[in-house]
Amino acid sequence: MSDPGDFASALRDATGQLGEVVALQPGLLVPSCPGWTVERLVVHVGRIQQWVATALLAPDPGPVDPISRPAVGTDLSAWITTGAEQLLDALDQVGPTGAVRAPGWENSAAWWQRRMTHETVIHAWDAGSAAGMAPKIDRWLATDGIDEALNELAPVRLDRTTFGVAATIHLHCTDTPEGAEPQTPDAGEWLLTIGPDLVTTARVHGKGDVAVRAAASDLLLWVWGRTNADGLEVFGDAEVLGRYQAAANY
């Protein structure tokens, strides 16, 4: 279990979970990533991790070539573990104010550390769930993952045309501890507004067209389209939740 805010440990743990599953069942199909096997999922995550590591250390802001696929017969458990350590080493070298400067991918090292942690965590869940050993996602990591998905991914990757008529969704974590600082990811509340031209999220308690309540880890899996709303507390127009999942291409 990683400490709150410890993205490096969370990324390392999730990579280890991927390595464990690929060592046991590389050809296993992953239902939450239709058409993908565990092997394909691990190669996907590992190549992204290694690309970010390379891009962070690139001496100039030019394009960074994609990472080659590992050779047939490669020990993928060792390969993805090594790549994750390369990424963490690169992050340490450049510090949080370092940056990826490759065209189209410009962002700070701190942004990329958060992004790669959540990418790895959700795919570790995909692989573990397929193998019947889904990992537990710590509350702090789940709330931050929800916040990242709503504030960073939804504005650019949610298909507003598919979503249709504008609506609001209130998300509420039921396991938020007393004393959590309001209007932070840890507070576990968001109001997502999906309009025809814009998607915005506020970290507030507000009335939406529909409200959904659950433990942070369960809400994270719903936000990422890994589970449906069954088992969650839903108040209001439940049809909006289905439209969100149809439009959320994360």
Sequence spans of domains, the chain = 7-130, 139-247
Provide CATH code, domain 139-247: 3.30.1050.10
- For the stretch 152-182, pLDDT in tens is 999 999 999 999 999 999 999 999 999 999 9
- pTM for the complete prediction? 0.96
- For the stretch 53-69, pLDDT in tens is 999 999 999 999 999 99
Taking the chain (250 residues) in runs of 10, the rounded mean pLDDT of each run is 78 98 98 98 98 97 97 98 98 96 96 98 98 96 98 97 98 96 96 97 97 98 97 97 96
Assign domain 7-130 to its CATH superfamily.
Answer: dinb family like domain (1.20.120.450)
Strands 210-214 and 167-173: parallel
- Model pLDDT, residue 5: 73
